[in-house]
């Protein structure tokens, strides 16, 4: 049987990962609950920032049952400072769903059905915790594969993502899929960096089209950025007997749902702004 052209990449990347992988707390042991919790925290957040939150959360909620039994304000308090608070609410809802079903879901489809779990998180948990051959496609993997293949499309495009998802699936070995997924993500996080990629340290540099053409930093290609403008908002501080008036955002608010904050003109239309 002829050797696949992808085989050297698999072999080289796995060998590099086993020797150079970071000692991250959620990699020991391979507990589905811990892997799922860390993967949700890692969405749009660096591993170094996640570690203390992961440790505090597991100390307070060592099992999914403990998390399911908690009240939402306590979960949000532990999450404070990590951002993207809808993740915390979804984690809490998912924990209660898992507890109600009696066991952590063990298939890609059932993990994907949990609140707040997308394709990437479901694939990561299914492959790492349960050894299922599900390829991951997060920002690090997109960058690595875009450079290896010199992907010509903007990474925001669904067609581009579909092509890269196909490349990731083709690379994924049937044996050790979770380990390979972690190796691919680790390469993007520590070597194949957005700026100044460390190609001399890359185990698959010889198989990277962008490296061969000397265009590493031109990939991945991004669409033109949208322009943003600053918005100035007014808030009122209303005090009575050393107590401050706050209002709570609706549960379906698109921003900071359920959070308490100072009222503004929309909440106190009759209030007058005090000039300095």
Q: Name the residues annotated as catalytic.
A: 39
Tokens 């949000």 -> residue:
76
- The answer to whether the CB of 119 falls within 8 A of the CB of 106 is no
Per-residue CA distances from 210 to 62, 64, 148, 189, 207 (Å): 44, 44, 6, 18, 9
Handedness of CA 254, 96, 63, 111 (dihedral sign): negative
Neighbours of 133 (CB within 10 A): 18
Joined together, the tokens standing for residue 255 give 């921003």
Handedness of CA 103, 107, 110, 111 (dihedral sign): positive
């Amino acid at each position: 049987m002829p050797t696949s052209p992808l085989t050297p990449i698999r072999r080289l990347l796995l060998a590099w990962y086993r020797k150079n992988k970071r000692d991250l707390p959620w990699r020991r042991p391979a507990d589905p609950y811990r892997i799922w919790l860390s993967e949700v925290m890692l969405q749009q957040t660096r591993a170094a920032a996640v570690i203390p939150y992961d440790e505090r959360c597991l100390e307070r909620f060592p099992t999914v049952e403990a998390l399911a039994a908690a009240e939402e304000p306590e979960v949000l308090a532990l999450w404070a400072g990590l951002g993207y608070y809808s993740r915390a609410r979804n984690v809490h809802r998912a924990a209660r769903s898992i507890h109600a079903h009696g066991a952590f879901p063990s298939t890609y489809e059932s993990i994907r059905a949990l609140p707040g779990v997308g394709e990437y998180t479901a694939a990561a948990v299914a492959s790492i915790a349960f050894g299922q051959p599900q390829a991951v496609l997060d920002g690090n993997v997109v960058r690595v594969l875009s450079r290896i293949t010199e992907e010509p499309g903007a990474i925001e495009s669904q067609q581009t993502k579909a092509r890269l998802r196909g490349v990731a699936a083709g690379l994924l070995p049937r044996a050790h899929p979770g380990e390979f997924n972690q190796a691919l993500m680790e390469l993007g996080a520590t070597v194949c960096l957005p700026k100044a990629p460390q190609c001399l340290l890359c185990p698959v540099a010889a198989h990277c089209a962008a490296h061969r053409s000397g265009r590493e930093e031109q990939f991945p290609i991004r669409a033109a950025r949208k322009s943003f403008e600053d918005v100035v908002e007014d808030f009122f501080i209303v005090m009575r007997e050393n107590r401050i008036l706050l209002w709570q955002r609706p549960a379906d608010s698109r921003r900071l749902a359920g959070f308490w904050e100072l009222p503004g003109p929309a909440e106190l239309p009759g209030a007058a702004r005090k000039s300095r």
